[in-house]
Amino acid sequence: MDSFEEEKKKIERFVKERDWDQFHSPANLAKSISIESSEFLKCFQWNEKNYGKRVAQEEFADVMIYCFQMGIAMDFDIKKIIAEKMAKNAVK
């Protein structure tokens, strides 16, 4: 099992323990990824150079966590779909 699948398992457990999976439709998670990535962007809102590395790291982690939750909800093999998209982007 690669790290992505491990990560999905770990996060899935976390979410199920809290009964949050009932809210985790793909549409809700897509909104959530978008919302979290905006909170991350906030670190660079007024100044692109001086940002709090600690806060940035935490906001980024939240984006990643929602991405893995999406991987769970849509049953994505994350490693594989990245490889496929990279191959497609390479052609462009």
Report the distance separating Cα 41 and Cα 16, nearest Å: 29
Please check whether residue 48 is in contact with residue 11, taking contact to mean a CB–CB distance below 8 angstroms.
no
Give the contacts of 77 (CB within 8 A, at least 6 positions apart). 4, 5
Which residue of 30, 55, 72, 91 would you call a contact of a copy of itself, by CB under 8 A?
A: 30
Contact characters 49-78, a copy of itself, x per CB under 8 A: x-x-x--xxx-xxxxxx-xx-x---x-x-x
- Provide the binding-site residues for a copy of itself, judged by CB under 8 A: 2-4, 7, 10-11, 14, 23, 25-28, 30-35, 37-46, 48-49, 51, 53, 56-58, 60-65, 67-68, 70, 74, 76, 78-79, 81-82, 84-86, 88-90
